[in-house]
Amino acid sequence: KQEVTQIPAALSVPEGENLVLNCSFTDSAIYNLQWFRQDPGKGLTSLLLIQSSQREQTSGRLNASLDKSSGRSTLYIAASQPGDSATYLCAVRGFSGNTGKLIFGQGTTLQVKP
């Protein structure tokens, strides 16, 4: 059974710092991995999607990497800003049929202090 773990559960950094959020998964047979952002009381917004054949994806100040063999993904946020404060969730899609189902980690809650 696939399990997804995110460490740390919470992180507080001063504005301007570069930071890394970690995601690990137990079954390396994944179809893709996605990183989502969740603001308090809101739904989830997709940030980056990495296909199993890819090693990384970039969008602005965000860079996500994927190492399937070690079951790890990282989300790198450059020059953090207070507006980056949110909960970040990673999710993997396995090969359990053609359904698109995702398995989520518990999330990392990020606070960027001005």
Partner 1 sequence: NAGVTQTPKFRILKIGQSMTLQCTQDMNHNYMYWYRQDPGMGLKLIYYSVGAGITDKGEVPNGYNVSRSTTEDFPLRLELAAPSQTSVYFCASSYSDRTRGYGYTFGSGTRLTVV
Contact positions vs partner 1 (CB under 8 A): 4, 6, 9, 31-32, 34, 36, 41-46, 49, 51, 89, 91, 93, 98-102, 104-107
Residue with the two structure tokens 């047979």: 29
Tally of CB atoms within 10 A around 108? 21
H or E segment to which residue 69 belongs: none
Taking a C-beta distance cutoff of 8 angstroms, is the pair 27, 33 a contact?
A: no
Letter for the amino acid at 3? E
Task: Quote the least distance from Cβ 61 to partner 1, whole Å.
Answer: 21
CA distance 66 to 15: 26
Tell me whether residue 102 or residue 112 sits nearer to partner 1 (CB atom).
102
Task: Quote the least distance from Cβ 16 to partner 1, whole Å.
Answer: 28
Tell me whether residue 19 or residue 44 sits nearer to partner 1 (CB atom).
44
Q: What is the DSSP letter of 51?
A: E
Tell me whether residue 18 or residue 46 sits nearer to partner 1 (CB atom).
46
Task: Quote the least distance from Cβ 71 to partner 1, whole Å.
Answer: 16
